[in-house]
Amino acid sequence: MTVLAGAISDKYELVVGLEVHAQLSTLSKAFSSDSAAFGAKPNHHISPISLGHPGTLPRINKRMVEYAVKMGIACNSTINLNNTFARKNYFYADLPKGFQTTQDQQPICLHGFVPVRLSDGSVKNIAIHHIHMEDDAGKSMHDNHSEDSLIDLNRAGVPLIEIVTEPDMRSSEEAGHFLTETRKLLRYLDICDGNMEEGSMRCDANISVRIKGATTYGNRCEVKNLNSIRNVQRAIEHEFVRQVNIIEAGGRIDQNTLNFNADTGETSVLRSKEMANDYRYFPEPDLQPLFLDEAYLLNIKQAMPALPNELYKKYIAELSLSDYDASVITADRDLALFFEELIKHTSNYKSAVHLLMGPFKSHLNEHGISISEIKVKPEHFAGLIQLVDNGKINNTVATHKLFPALLASPEKNATQLATELNLLISDDGGDLSRYISDAIAKYPDKVIEYQKGKKGVLGLFMGEIMKSSKGKIDPQKTNLLLIKELEAK
């Protein structure tokens, strides 16, 4: 794809709206009691209802409704108390009913926004058009057999919410940040794992261009089933160049549904874009209207956890963390929850961040484990921080000796282990004086260099003292005493 010249690129404005499909982490399917678990053998989680047999009657999954409401509240949406379902008619080989049960005229969540932080530090609220509930289709596999396509209907009927934005994004960066924030919300609410590679979160991007300053939208193309945030951004960037080149050459943009090739980074026509009337929506006759009330919404809202943006603001305003630290902690739900427990037992928030972002995350990465597999209580890690704060151990010993000991013996607290392993800094001033004297005596030539102004040799002396004391010294206090001794020579 030809790269646009700056003047041509600046002439046009990119317009993007996203449709995010999130597979809900319910035990059963949207309208039947079939298991919604992932990973079963093909066509094991099916029943006459999910297979669309005549005479079967669907039932609404209560948990699906609860999860949709949670996401609506998290997206600052208005919750619709009077809900209806509809049939969206189209043929897929893996859609056994011949229609999708969805919401059309009365979706469960209306309007709202998701705030995103851009690279320049600004915050933009990406507007939500609506969120609706629906069920998923099955899965067709085309590469498992040389001549035939195979169909697995385990996924048919699994509950989804579709989050539809307004055409509110003006760059691939904004789209990437929106997807990142949406995935964080899904994970914080524990309603979807947000794994795009496995298909539990999927995205369609509606992309168009227009002359800057124009008030009407150009014809849009929809790129389907993008399976990573980076691929969404690549598809948007490619489409911007492709559409501008067509317009500049005197052509027009046809409203098509496109496929994205992750290997080439290019799009291709999948089919001519359907319009709403092509789907022949009509009310689902087998499902009664769903009526919610304010008490139901209040109960859900009160049970919701703190959300990432709320925690970010708290960490900046109340804990005085940096933007970077607050962003890293809130990026991972499990890390944020662990941090929340940790700061109940220590007020040294900066040290708590350093512990989690340093040795803690390194241990997780090295062993390929999750935070839930860590058996050490947060208060025991807080005890380690307190020992450093009180001058009982230094940071090096805390990181390289006491931290691994806590992991190996999670039933013991930091003070117990530091005492058992003889890691506590000695209060005997005589010991410290001896360590300093021995180091100075070992390197008389370096003493002369120091006195001639070569201050860098202090590190050599400190290293020797750390070795002979086995780390059981206060580095700051030792450094001051060492300088005093050297300057007295």
Q: Is the dihedral of CA 65, 46, 155, 334 positive or negative?
A: positive
Residue 8 CB burial class (10 angstroms; 0-12, 13-18, ≥19):
middle
CA–CA separation, 119 and 112 (whole Å): 23
Reported confidence tier of residue 148, pLDDT bands at 50, 70, 90: confident
Instruction: Yes or no: say if 191 and 24 are a contact pair by the CB < 8 Å rule.
Output: yes
Instruction: Give the position of tokens 């309007």.
Output: 111
Rounded alpha-carbon distances, angstroms, from residue 199 to 97, 101, 155, 193, 227: 21, 19, 11, 10, 7
Reported confidence tier of residue 484, pLDDT bands at 50, 70, 90: low
Say yes or no to pLDDT of 87 above 80: yes
CA–CA separation, 150 and 242 (whole Å): 34
Instruction: Yes or no: say if 85 and 102 are a contact pair by the CB < 8 Å rule.
Output: yes
Q: What is the pLDDT of residues 365-378, one digit of tens each?
A: 999 999 999 999 99
Closest CA relative to residue 312, chosen from 471, 75, 489, 115: 115
Instruction: Give the position of tokens 């709403």.
Output: 276
Q: Is the dihedral of CA 44, 69, 299, 339 positive or negative?
A: positive
Mean pLDDT for 230-249 is 95
Say yes or no to pLDDT of 462 above 80: no
Token pair, residue 6, equals: 């700056």
Counting residues of the chain whose pLDDT is more than 90, the rounded percentage is: 71
Number of H helices, E strands in the chain: 18, 17
Say yes or no to pLDDT of 140 above 70: yes
Say yes or no to pLDDT of 471 above 90: no
- Go through the domains of the chain in sequence order and give each one's CATH number: 6-295 (no CATH), 306-420 (no CATH), 429-488 (1.10.10.410)
* pLDDT for residue 428: 53
Reported confidence tier of residue 430, pLDDT bands at 50, 70, 90: low
Distance of alpha carbon 235 from the chain centroid: 21
Say yes or no to pLDDT of 361 above 90: yes
Q: Is the dihedral of CA 482, 487, 488, 489 positive or negative?
A: positive
Mean pLDDT of the chain: 90
Token pair, residue 67, equals: 């999860």
Token pair, residue 27, equals: 């035990």
CA–CA separation, 434 and 442 (whole Å): 12
* pLDDT for residue 233: 97
Closest CA relative to residue 26, chosen from 254, 192, 199, 248: 192
Q: What is the pLDDT of residues 155-182, one digit of tens each?
A: 999 999 999 999 999 999 999 999 999 9
Residue type, 161: I
Contacts 24+ apart (CB under 8 A), 319-324: 319/343, 319/349, 320/349, 321/349, 321/350, 321/353, 323/121
Instruction: Give the position of tokens 């989050």.
Output: 163
Counting residues of the chain whose pLDDT is more than 70, the rounded percentage is: 91
